[in-house]
Chains A and B, each alone.
Chain A
Amino acid sequence: MEATQALKLIKGRRSIRRFTDKEISKEALTDLVEAAVWAPSGSNAQAWEFVILGKKDKELMNRMVAFLPGVSEAPAAMIWLCLDRAKEKAKAGKLGLDVMGVMDISMAAQNIMLMAHAMGLGSCVIGSFNESVTRIALKLPEHVTPELLLILGYPAEEGFGPPRPPVQQNMHWREFGAKDI
């Protein structure tokens, strides 16, 4: 892939919250998780776990949506990105538990969203959810925490992209505030 194609893919991904009824195949969902696990991982902990809800789980997703902001109906699929805190602690210590594990999850989520976009799927990342509700619904063991939710499906809406300021606005050369080399 050329750099311009990569940038086009990155810029083309938008948050999609409404989807058609078309299902996502098990193979496609597996490809998305394959993309996720190739994200960087602090201390190579790879302490992520992915709980996937698909076409057979519509009613469970509807029950979860009842508690979720920003989602009005069950999507075609959900991927819950979770952190195995016992594994993270063993491999990456306190820094892993406090910071790196969640960063790993975030980078894995971005991989999934870009892969989904390349596959013609829409996605939206949701970080505001109730942990207790999620634990009950997904039967998570105590050492596994839900960190992010991705909702996925074939887009039924155009995503909108809030404009970005010129990139130079947030760039600093060598020292903070210096706008040129």
Chain B
Amino acid sequence: MNEKRACDVLAYAAASAREMYVDPSVYASHRLLATMERFLGFLEEEQYNDPFFSELRKSINDNILLVMTDPEKFGDFLSEVVEKVAHKSFEYA
């Protein structure tokens, strides 16, 4: 990841940390998902080949707005994301 993209990650994390202090708490989850989505986008720019990353990014894009329309499904989706990342992570064990 180049320095500009690293700065982008820092920018979003910093702005999110500030706004999460006043936003409704569920938007903390939303912002962390959005951080993941952006990070995954930067990985795509670096042409990582593992389809896991692009599929996870698409999944986040498809579901992130559930925070506004269906909080229960949004909660389920958060669990699903953790499980997906866990399965991937333990491939490296």
Question: Which residues does A use to contact B, with CB under 8 Å?
Answer: 63, 66-70, 72, 128-130, 133, 160, 162
Q: Is the CB of B8 within 8 A of A66?
A: yes
- From 25 to 47 in chain B, residues with beta carbon under 8 angstroms from any chain A beta carbon are 27, 30-31, 34, 37-38, 41
Sort chain B's interface into a size bin.
20 to 34
Stretch of B13-21, B74-82, B84-92 at the chain-chain interface: B13-21
In the bound complex, residues from chain B placing their C-beta under 8 Å from that of A160 are 65
Knowing A128-B23, A162-B68, the reply to whether A69 touches B37 (Cβ < 8 A) is no
In the bound complex, residues from chain A placing their C-beta under 8 Å from that of B15 are 67-69, 129-130, 133
Q: Is the CB of A69 within 8 A of B7?
A: no
Q: List 18 A-B contacts (CB under 8 A).
A: A66-B8, A66-B11, A67-B12, A67-B15, A69-B16, A69-B27, A69-B30, A69-B31, A69-B34, A70-B34, A128-B19, A128-B23, A130-B15, A130-B18, A133-B11, A133-B15, A160-B65, A162-B68
12 new A-B contacts at CB < 8 Å, known A70-B34, A129-B15, A130-B19: A63-B11, A66-B12, A69-B15, A69-B16, A69-B19, A69-B27, A69-B30, A69-B31, A69-B34, A72-B38, A72-B41, A128-B19
Q: How far is the CA of A66 from the CA of B7 in the complex (A)?
A: 8
B69 in the interface (beta carbon within 8 A)? yes
Judged by DSSP, the binding face of B is helix
Judged by DSSP, the binding face of A is loop
Question: Which residues does B use to contact A, with CB under 8 Å?
Answer: 7-8, 11-12, 14-16, 18-19, 23, 27, 30-31, 34, 37-38, 41, 61, 65, 68-69
CB-nearest residue of chain A relative to B41?
A72
